[in-house]
Chains A and B, each alone.
Chain A
Amino acid sequence: MTPREPSAAGGGAREGAPPPEPIVDVRGATFAYGASLALSNVSFSARRGEFVGLLGPNGAGKSTLIRIVAGLAAPLDGEVRLAGLDPFRAPRRQVARVCALVPQEPRVAWPFTVREAVMMGRAPRQGLLAVADRYDRGAVQGALEACDLVHLADRRLDALSGGERRRVFFARALAQEPRVLLLDEPTAFLDLGHQVAAMRMAQVAARGGLSVVAVLHDLNLAAAACDRVVVLSRGRFVAEGPPAAVLTEARVREVWDVPVWRGENAATGAAVVLPALPRS
């Protein structure tokens, strides 16, 4: 990636058609668990309204990268900006107003109701005792509607199915009214219908103006839904760009170390990648 000027004021005053400012901007992120290097000098960005997929085999550092973007794990080296904010310097409340994270495995230790859980997304905008005002209630209602949860609003989380819970946590992130939405494997453990629904919600969020960054394992879902993908391997940046350009047969075979058949969806033009298992 080419170096860019910092996204501070003045960036828009350059000559020519200025590219829209990146909302998520990661530069040279490096991270290690103990002695093993998990990420090495990785940079990527996501703009307003863009849905970016983070791809790569297990151990590529995708989840680490998303935790760094969320400000939850401080990189050894490198910089992160979320709408100009340094998530490791700015107060957590301020970061949470800009950036929401939907965790990979939404665990439920305490049996809150759906509405209570979604209301917690308003926490970064509420006072000490988190008393909800009319605007908070409106935002929660909107998030419940967007995620088709209105009929479940008063159910307890521990009475929901896995897919329903996932929607609750997505709704909570929407209720945060962030500018950046981070999704850690939003389709894991879901059946095909729920996978498509989850990707659809992410797409809709991006069309609504959010920067959406998602860790994804399913290359076809990524190819179908993402505007751009970033491929990592063993903690290193490999490629970046529109899915059709990035997910070539040679690259998939090299990065994932499997032979694949690479085709194209005739209806949408999206890349299709199928593993080539030997018939035996």
Chain B
Amino acid sequence: MIASRRARLAIALAAGAVAVALAVAASAALGAQPISLSAALAGREPDAAILFSLRLPRALLAALVGCALAAAGTALQALLRNPLAEPFVLGVSGGAALGGSLVLVAAAGASRLAGAAGELLGSAPPVAAGAVAGAALSTVLVFGLGRIGGRLVPEAALLVGIVFNAFVAGVITLVKMLVPPEQASRLLYWLVGAVGYESPGTLAASAVLVTLAVAALVALSARLNLLTLGDEEAASLGLDVRRARAWIFFAASAATGAAVALAGMVGFVGLIVPHLVRRVVGPDHRLLVPASALFGAAFLVLADALARLAFLPLGTEPPVGAVTAFLGGPFFLWLLRRTARPEEAR
């Protein structure tokens, strides 16, 4: 059993990698425009441009976002000791979107005073930094306000997150009035959550950030196991709870912030994926975090492909956030019913 943990890890990672590869392949093969793989590989237009300039970068973007959100969701569930926790539901995504929006507003204000400075502030890295900071602050806020009498009450934290999300949606709607119209579309993007097309530079930088954050969560995964026992038990097993939690907050916030900066508030990925993966690999976070990260990547790539394909007859495409919410909303409710008994987290 113990000896087979390594084997289970290898199997889970291999299965995850295969799932990502298949999802990317499916996403690259399917789309509004039928393309020929051989023509694309031979460099013939437009097939080559569609495959290499559009579908593959977009699949990579979706994979990064899904990977980050699923890993962050897994970590937040362990921290809250509740399978309903998730960056979107807990308001962490909302905080990231708010942080990013505030940077955009500041940029709009600055460009009125000093054009170049505003431009610089409105570019991708500062906005992403705002998103990460917003995610971190809202995590601290939600977990802080979720305490009643010094004890973390998961239901209270979830409620705080839901209220915080509504607050964020309101603030972003207000903020939308303050920025130039060309940036308003970006704010709208954040509210619905959509995977689009980013420049190779942005993709590369995001890949580095997401990889670092997920790697940190993998490194912290044994601590996540202890934290599921509760603060005092974790402490009595030798864990410096505050420090461990601070690191996990930070890594999960960085992952969520990066995901939100890239694709807005894509909900429920961090809920659906860890839950399904846990049913297969079990509750050990040393398996769960890396496996969820991989399957999260595969999941969002497929969800994005679905978003692109489902509405093809209408000649339009909905944002992927609509698809994940369509799947995730009922899933959340089902999980809520199942976990009505607090002792259970299957």
Contacts and interface: CB of A to CB of B under 8 A. Distances in A.
Chain A CB within 10 A, most for which of B225, B240, B241, B345: B225
A137 B283 CA distance: 19
A129 B239 contact: no
Chain A CB within 10 A, most for which of B78, B221, B228: B228
A107 B221 CA distance: 20
Contacts of B221: 129
A205 to B, nearest CB: 16
Contacts of B219: 128-129
A72 B235 CA distance: 7
B2 A115 contact: yes
Interface string A143-185: 0000000000110001000000000000010001000000000
Contacts of A95: 238
Interface stretch (A97-105, A223-231, A234-242): A97-105
Nearest to A95: B238
B235 A129 contact: no
A72 B232 contact: yes
B1 A115 contact: yes
A39 B193 CA distance: 54
State the main secondary structure of chain B at its contact with A.
loop
A113 to B, nearest CB: 8
Contacts of A172: 237
A96 interface: yes
Contact of A110 (B1, B78, B238): B78
Interface residues of B, number: 32
A220 to B, nearest CB: 29
Contacts of B346: 111, 158
A96 B236 contact: yes
A109 B153 CA distance: 13
A109 B81 contact: yes
B198 interface: no
Given A116-B284, A153-B1, A107 B343 contact: yes
Given A95-B238, A120-B229, A129 B222 contact: yes
Contacts of B344: 111, 158
A101 B234 CA distance: 10
Interface in A79-117: 91-97, 99-101, 103, 107-113, 115-116
Nearest to B285: A110
A172 B234 CA distance: 12
Interface string B177-191: 000000000000000
B286 interface: yes
23 contacts: A70-B236, A71-B235, A96-B238, A103-B233, A109-B81, A109-B230, A110-B78, A110-B229, A111-B282, A115-B2, A116-B282, A116-B283, A119-B2, A123-B226, A123-B237, A124-B237, A126-B222, A128-B219, A130-B225, A137-B2, A158-B344, A158-B346, A172-B237
Interface of B: 1-2, 5, 78, 81-82, 219, 221-222, 225-226, 228-230, 232-233, 235-241, 282-284, 286, 342-346
Given A72-B232, A91-B240, A111-B345, 15 more contacts: A93-B240, A103-B236, A107-B230, A108-B343, A109-B228, A112-B283, A113-B282, A119-B2, A120-B226, A120-B229, A123-B226, A129-B219, A129-B286, A132-B2, A158-B346
Interface of A: 67, 70-72, 91-97, 99-101, 103, 107-113, 115-116, 119-121, 123-124, 126, 128-130, 132, 137, 153-154, 158, 172, 176
